[in-house]
Homo-oligomer: A and B are copies of this chain.
Amino acid sequence: MARPPRFDTPLLLDVAVRLAAESGPSGVTMSAVAAYAGAPSGSLYHRFAGRSALLAEVWLRTVEGFQEGYFAALKSSEDPRAAGRAASRYVVAWSRAHPDEATLLLYGARDFGQDDWSAEHLRRAEEGNRRVLTSVRELAEAVGASDAQDVERVSLALIDIPLSLIRRHLRGGTPLPPHAEALVEQCTDALLDRPADSPGRKPRMS
């Protein structure tokens, strides 16, 4: 018993993603989204309490969409090394499939106005962070991490390195090369090696 929507939430968020990828978070203004979607501003404020709400939702939808598959990859194998490689590969594959959203992910929540988010939005963000943290910790232990430095190294291997590669290409405008998956896998693998107890490096095994 209601008028059918002409501009629903997912559509508006899609527009927001596109704008964010093109001009950064600051380019995601209510008027820009409205103009791009061909919607009146009233429709925007009907869906979102305000600009911060829209920014929060576009960020959270993207992050949560990414994480869904990421967790699956992290748990895709009994062997923690294989699981780590799968996770790295997933980051690249997902970014290839969703370049705009990947561009968005390279920013931080703070850039999307986190300071003005509602309690509920903050909770969702917090929840995601928590889940990632525990998953990474689990894998780090399985791979033999013993101290904070090891856990940090594993975090780099599983998250930051793949994202670095993505950033390098998305920022440079070059498309992700075909060998990207192989490269991150190789990097992740190198960093998951249990470091010998001395500052020197351990001999390679293959």
Contact = CB atoms under 8 A, between A and B. Distances in A.
A205 B87 CA distance: 27
A26 interface: yes
A4 interface: no
Main secondary structure on A side of the interface with B: helix
B110 A187 contact: no
A153 B153 CA distance: 17
Nearest to A171: B108
A204 B193 contact: yes
A152 interface: yes
A154 to B, nearest CB: 11
A126 to B, nearest CB: 13
B201 A190 contact: yes
Interface stretch (A61-69, A70-78, A117-125, A161-169): A161-169
Given A148-B177, A149-B177, A187-B191, 16 more contacts: A148-B179, A149-B179, A149-B182, A149-B183, A152-B168, A153-B183, A156-B161, A156-B165, A182-B198, A186-B195, A186-B199, A189-B198, A190-B190, A190-B193, A193-B201, A196-B204
Interface of A: 24-26, 108, 110-111, 148-149, 152-153, 155-156, 160-161, 163-165, 167-168, 171, 177, 179, 182-183, 186-187, 189-191, 193, 195-201, 204, 206
